[in-house]
Amino acid sequence: MSGVVCRSYTVSGKVQGVFFRASAAREATRLGLTGWVRNVPNGDVEVLACGEPEQLAGLEEWLATGPAMARVDAVVARDENAADHRHLTDFRTG
């Protein structure tokens, strides 16, 4: 468990109304990550993901394109304190 890290992502572009959240949750679950994904009022999508660095790298690569109907303009990543998120046990859509 000591290798677990958490990162938050803000994804901007045409990312709402294109199944981005459901697709991101599916991809994160496939990668074995915990966390959540949600829409924000300004049209962006926020993601918090925790797992091994290799798992997060896979998610970051996926976030850069998203699902087929999305257009990702930017992904901004920030490191998070993993201890603050140790209560997460799965990946959820909010």
The structural domains of the chain, with segments of one domain joined by +, span: 5-81
38, 39, 81, 92: which is the annotated catalytic residue? 39
Is 42 tagged catalytic?
no
Tens digits of per-residue pLDDT, 17-49? 999 999 999 999 999 999 999 999 999 999 999
Asked whether 20 and 66 are in contact (CB, 8 A), the reply is yes
7, 21, 26, 81: which is the annotated catalytic residue? 21
pTM over 0.75: yes
Asked whether 16 and 38 are in contact (CB, 8 A), the reply is no
**Domain 5-81, what fold?**
Alpha-Beta Plaits (3.30.70)
Is 21 tagged catalytic?
yes
Residue 72 has φ and ψ, to the nearest 5°, of -90, 120
pLDDT at 1 (0 to 100): 45
Question: Per-residue pLDDT for 81 more than 60?
Answer: yes
